[in-house]
Chains A and B, each alone.
Chain A
Amino acid sequence: MIRFLLLFSRQGKLRLQKWFTPLTDREKKKVIRDMTMLVLPRPPRSSNFVQWRDLKIVYKRYASLYFCAGLEQHDNELLALEVLHRYVELLDKYFGNVCELDIIFNFEKAYFILDEFLMGGEILETSKLAVGATMEEADTLQETMEEYMSKPAY
């Protein structure tokens, strides 16, 4: 299973954190710090896999954002790269040419999309269309017209 998924910028600012195992706030902060220190200094042409403690770390950079996942020993790293890529595709479809600002200003939507794709550290839905359809339908349940039109709801 995936233990955690982190998105952070090139300056190390956290944009999204999803934890699939219970950790204290302190432990989470430590992991985030370790990940940024592990991933950010790596030269551009390195492999996308690093061993860290007992986990395999898989990361990929998309424009200004690093997507970083921690896997268990028996997980398939090459497939994890596909998982990260699929998530980016889902975000891209939803936001239309997604960029880091979209994720900053609509972080809650990024979480909702993630929750339709992964659950408990495992893949929930393998079809892009299905996730997209679910998000659209769920958005219609938002209570006001304003919210539905994805104008700032809050």
Chain B
Amino acid sequence: MPAPIRLRELIRTIRTARTQAEEREMIQKECAAIRSSFREEDNTYRCRNVAKLLYMHMLGYPAHFGQLECLKLIASQKFTDKRIGYLGAMLLLDERQDVHLLMTNCIKNDLNHSTQYVQGLALCTLGCMGSSEMCRDLAGEVEKLLKTSNSYLRKKAALCAVHVIRKVPELMEMFLPATKNLLSEKNHGVLHTSVVLLTEMCERSPDMLAHFRKLVPQLVRILKNLIMSGYSPEHDVSGISDPFLQVRILRLLRILGKSDDDSSEAMNDILAQVATNTETSKNVGNAILYETVLTIMDIKSESGLRVLAINILGRFLLNNDKNIRYVALTSLLKTVQTDHNAVQRHRSTIVDCLKDLDVSIKRRAMELSFALVNGNNIRGMMKELLYFLDSCDPEFKADCASGVFLAAEKYAPSKRWHIDTIMRVLTTAGSYVRDDSVPNLIQLITNSVEMHAYTVQRLYKALLDDISQQPLVQVASWCIGEYGDLLVSGQCEEEEPIQVTEDEVLDVLEGLLVSNLSTPVTRGYALTAIMKLSTRFSSVNRIKKVVSIYGSSIDVELQQRAVEYNALFKKYDHMRPALLERMPIMEKTATNGPTEIVQTNGETEPSVVESKHPPPVTQPTNQANDLLDLLGGNDVVPVIQTTMPTKPASAGGELLDLLGDLSLSGIPPMTAYNKNGLKIDFTFERANPNPNIAVITIHASNSTEADMTDFVFQAAVPKTFQLQLLSPSSNVVPALNQGTVTQVIRVLNPQKQQLRMRIKLTYTLKGSAVQDLAEVNNFPPQSWQ
């Protein structure tokens, strides 16, 4: 059997392959040869074969059949074998395979080997990929090596200990004695790894942190020596002595000085010294300055030092080097909350970064700009941000639009400015705004009563220009539906009123209905708007015609609306004016999360036009519908995840726990639903021991004369909750309140947010299927706090 080909020979051969197929063929051939060689237990060439296997593995081919061979290599006496064996183990094995445990014994032996390089291999492998079991078994050996005087082994043992602690935190204590004189070492490798070890311990345990605070003076001294010492060829990087060690020490000082006055005071001087003396012409100096700034901002430094730090960041912002600008923006973002005024001083530089060509920098600058917006600078900042919105890449538009809306809402100097800003966003980035901004905007517009005429006029003009951006079109249709009368009567005070006839308006709305650019949702908006105009315009016949045409539309949504509106014309014409009357001022339920528009006039709607809810609500309802339909069937499946669209809570704070008191007993029951004879009550209790879980029992009762059969109750909750539905007591709700169906719902509410729920009920009554959706919003505060 000829000797297997050499590694570099193989590499050369594979590189000559011209196609993927050719390469695969070569590899398969070689793998077959290697496999048979392994089967023959060939000791001489095992090393060579595993090395080749590792090369092929890097190309992406499977190499698992070499795992055991790596173990054999590790167990060999030859250094070459061990080197390749350990490398193979690190590349091919990980803690998921049971095979890796077989290494433990070999590593243990090698940790006690007479040659330090073998010991080094073992430490390295353990420190890179040792599993928790291995770490537990070998921690004692590592601890022993941590106390050796051999600096080569000591530094490796230190990082190995770091890995052990990361895997098995409970073992941290056993390394404590060995750390006693780690910092007195002269060897930089040992010093560096010791600082890493100390940092890891301090980060994980407050006790360790307190214990190691006494090292602050020693660390300061070491850092001082590094800065003051002359040129040292061994550790020099562009004129700076061992920057890696300097940065690590600064980081440890940061952890030790945080929330501790004495330690912070002890390091003030050295921090000022590093901040002022470090050479900034090269990246390495800036790396140290960067770490220094982070440390100054985190400890209890005196104000002079903090100002120095922010000024360094300000200088970074003006640096030509993009990396430094990026890092400055990131740091400023972190400090903007605590040192707001200081950061404000650099606002113009930050805004200039919006125009940078680099994508990463633009994003950071955008985030920081939004953080800096306040009541004083809103007009100027918004100008810049809107300009940015105009010209930025699509990946930014959604976030920027949301940011603009939020900022405008918080700091708008006037209603007109607010509406103008929104208009600008809708016209420039209209297709990128988030879905829930449409209901938000509608609410805003409704509540700005004096601006109705101006708003509808501007929106109308925008529609004439462009009907492709759906959120804009939806808001515009809604407004025209509501305020069309103001539009045609030319009542606008804010700007020159335009002359528009009723027919022109209806032309535009009908155009939306037929256009290919309109989504089904938009069409729904348009149809409802047309309907509303029947009480505001005089051309009722035209509207009647349009509505009846869509009674046979393929789109089920449109069809249903049209049919119901038709019915409104034919049978319930007397109710029409009342139903289509102007919307009242809407109350906001929460500034974050899906905006639920709650009617405050308490009007009850006749069941015929049940689905003629204000259009803004249909969007979230449709999505919840889709979810609930996925549950399907009559079996109640435990609902684990729900997908009601929720905006992540940003600056938040509205959901304050005003009551505070977590009394668990006596949460009052509530009626969640009561319609058409079906009444559903909720009773509450808290699950022990987890106070974040609310256990709700529903009680369904039926006051009609017939039983409700095939009763199914389903529920959906916003994204931040988790819901579990257990099996119901029965599927039949007996008539005349003779009995109840009960079912248990468990709701996990880790963020203690206000509990809201959408429920879907289906049942059969007197032979016909009934289905209903409802919102449950009236949960008592104690059930979710």
Interface residue ranges, A against B (CB under 8 Å): 14-17, 20, 22-24, 29, 43, 45-51, 74, 76-79, 81-83, 86, 104-105, 107-108, 111-112, 115, 119-120, 122-130, 134, 137-138, 141-143, 147, 152-154
Across-interface contacts of A17 in B (CB, < 8 A)? 58, 91
Nearest neighbor of A111 in chain B, beta-carbon distance = B87
Known A78-B324, A143-B79; judge A46-B128 contact (CB<8 A): no
B192→A22 contact, CB < 8 A: no
Across-interface contacts of A120 in B (CB, < 8 A)? 127-128, 159-160, 162-163, 166
B235→A119 contact, CB < 8 A: no
Residues in B235-293 with C-beta less than 8 Å from chain A: 235, 237, 242-245, 247-248, 251, 283-284, 286-287, 290-291
Q: Is the interface of B mostly helix, strand, loop or mixed?
A: helix
Nearest CB in chain B: distance from A16 CB, A: 8
Nearest neighbor of A130 in chain B, beta-carbon distance = B189
Nearest CB in chain B: distance from A28 CB, A: 10
- Bound: A128/B325 CA distance, A: 29
A105→B58 contact, CB < 8 A: no
B290→A78 contact, CB < 8 A: yes
Nearest CB in chain A: distance from B17 CB, A: 13
Known A46-B359, A47-B325, A82-B287; judge A154-B58 contact (CB<8 A): no
Known A47-B323, A108-B51; judge A76-B193 contact (CB<8 A): no
Which one of B4-12, B176-184, B548-556, B777-785 is at the A interface? B4-12
Residues in B81-122 with C-beta less than 8 Å from chain A: 83-84, 87, 91, 94-96, 115, 117
Nearest CB in chain A: distance from B110 CB, A: 13
**Residue of A74, A119, A138 with most chain B CB atoms under a 10 A cut-off:** A119
B323→A126 contact, CB < 8 A: no
- Bound: A46/B322 CA distance, A: 7
Nearest CB in chain B: distance from A148 CB, A: 10
Across-interface contacts of B58 in A (CB, < 8 A)? 14-17, 107
Interface size bracket, B side: 35 or more
Across-interface contacts of A123 in B (CB, < 8 A)? 192-193, 196, 244, 248
- Bound: A61/B152 CA distance, A: 31
Could you list 9 further interchain pairs (A-B, Cβ under 8 angstroms) beyond the known A51-B360, A77-B323, A154-B48?
A81-B323, A82-B243, A108-B83, A108-B87, A123-B192, A124-B192, A126-B189, A152-B9, A154-B8
Residue-by-residue, is B389-422 near A (CB-CB < 8 Å gives 1, otherwise 0)?
0000000000000000000000000000000000
Across-interface contacts of B196 in A (CB, < 8 A)? 122-123
B11→A76 contact, CB < 8 A: no
A82→B128 contact, CB < 8 A: no
Cβ of B529 within 8 Å of any chain A Cβ, yes or no, is no
User: Contact check: which of A45, A124, A147 meets B156 at CB < 8 Å?
Assistant: A124
- Bound: A142/B9 CA distance, A: 20
Nearest neighbor of A134 in chain B, beta-carbon distance = B152
Nearest CB in chain B: distance from A25 CB, A: 9
A24→B96 contact, CB < 8 A: yes
Across-interface contacts of A81 in B (CB, < 8 A)? 283, 287, 323
Across-interface contacts of B300 in A (CB, < 8 A)? none
B159→A119 contact, CB < 8 A: yes
Cβ of B47 within 8 Å of any chain A Cβ, yes or no, is yes
- Bound: A154/B53 CA distance, A: 12
Residue-by-residue, is B55-79 near A (CB-CB < 8 Å gives 1, otherwise 0)?
1001110000000000000000011
Cβ of B358 within 8 Å of any chain A Cβ, yes or no, is yes
A119→B127 contact, CB < 8 A: yes
Across-interface contacts of B351 in A (CB, < 8 A)? none
Cβ of B682 within 8 Å of any chain A Cβ, yes or no, is no
Across-interface contacts of A48 in B (CB, < 8 A)? 322-323
Cβ of B188 within 8 Å of any chain A Cβ, yes or no, is yes
